[in-house]
Amino acid sequence: APAPLVWIPRPVHPDAVDRLSRHAEVRLGYDADAVPFDAVCHRVAGILLRTERVDGAMMRRAPRLRIIARHGVGLDTVDLDQARAQGITVTTTPTANTQSVAEHTIALLLAVRRGIGLAVRGEGDTRTAIRGRELNGATLGLVGFGRIARRVAAIAAHGFGMRVLAHDPVVPDGDITAAGAEPAELPAVLAAADHLSLHVPLTPGTRGLIGAPELAALPAGAVVVNTSRGGILDEEALLASLRAGHLAGAGLDVTTVEPLPRDHPLRAEPAVVITPHTGAQTEEALYRMAAEAADHLIRHLG
């Protein structure tokens, strides 16, 4: 039988493409001889997907499609109902970027607390304008205690000597304690957190989870970091709290609209550090995401 055809719409780590090529006929949707979906839809058996959309109409035109292997997590771009109807397997790589996102969360905490954004912009006498704070001895509140939050908790507690409180309605208290954090309900986390970091998925239940009342409940001078998903943190409320001088700063890797427009008012806030969803953009995470997605394709089509 001929090797199954795998289509890769956007660039992924080249090692994964090489390995896939030994097991499948690989067609790339990018580079000099880019092959569009239309040209492969009749034969395509597997798709290695980053953030592109695969809707029901595309699937219906792909009768041989058996697997969509997502590089990373988040399946909001895939029509899961149609995939189920056609018996198409959909996979993700949920652990591949955990460490990278956790490290990025810590980077944002430090950047905000030490005025790195202000220093890099270099306006005026930044040296005397910057009055940083140490993380040692401070309290970190975590909303959600899944994979990323656990790594953040370990680094914060062991690396910086922070006290860590965590709220997660699903994770047993014993698991939170074992990871070096203290379980607490959300109001108790907010009341104590001079640093708040969000690690929940975006669902109807978490949209707007941290709005004006939650920000007001934080101690004055608190810092909020969001590396989870835009929409969980209410940006209007964040801006208002910063302008009122209640929050000392914020670090955002994700925003409701990405990339955040150049003229967005949050960009003009001196104590806000914004990165363009780069939490998983490391050599290691990109390699692991591509390698794991390639594994899923090879195993499923082999």
Q: Which are the catalytic amino acids?
A: 229, 258, 277
The residues that touch ligand NAD, with contacts defined as CB under 6 A, are: 73-74, 94, 97-98, 101, 143-149, 167-171, 199-202, 205-206, 209, 227-229, 253-254, 277, 279-280
Burial letters for 94-128: b for 16+ Cβ neighbours within 10 Å, e otherwise?
Answer: eebbbbbbbbbbbbbbebbbbbbbbeeeeeeeeee
- 223 touches 109 (CB < 8 A): yes
Give the residue ranges of DSSP H helices in 87-172.
Answer: 98-113, 116-121, 126-129, 147-154, 160
What's the min distance (Å) between Cβ of 136 and ligand NAD?
25
- Which residue number is nearest to ligand NAD in terms of Cβ? 146
Least distance (Å) between residue 146 CB and ligand NAD? 2
What DSSP line would sit under 19-66, residue for residue? HHHTTSEEEESSSTT---HHHHTTTEEEEEESS--B-HHHHHT-TT--
Nearest approach in angstroms of CB 200 to ligand NAD is 4
Strand-by-strand arrangement of the 139-143 sheet: 182-183, 163-167, 139-143, 195-198, 222-226, 247-252, 272-274
Judged by CB, which is closer to ligand NAD: 40, or 280? 280
- Closer Cβ to ligand NAD, 59 or 198, answer by number: 198
For 208-214, the CB contacts below 8 A with 24+ separation are 208/232, 208/234, 209/143, 209/233, 210/143, 210/234, 210/237, 211/237, 212/237, 212/240, 212/241, 214/186, 214/190
> CB of residue 271 vs ligand NAD: minimum separation in angstroms?
20
Give the pair of three-digit tokens for residue 278: 């780069």
Query: Between residues 153 and 297, which has the closer beta carbon with respect to ligand NAD?
Result: 153
Helix (H, G, I), strand (E, B) or coil at 179: coil
Closest distance to ligand NAD from the beta carbon of 74 (Å):
6
With respect to ligand NAD, which residue has the nearer C-beta, 139 or 228?
228
d(CA 231, CA 252): 12
Least separation in angstroms between residue 59's CB and ligand NAD is 24
Q: What are phi and psi of 46, to 5 degrees?
A: -145, 145
Number of alpha helices (DSSP H) and beta strands (DSSP E) in the chain = 14, 12
Residue 172 or 221: which CB sits closer to ligand NAD?
Answer: 172
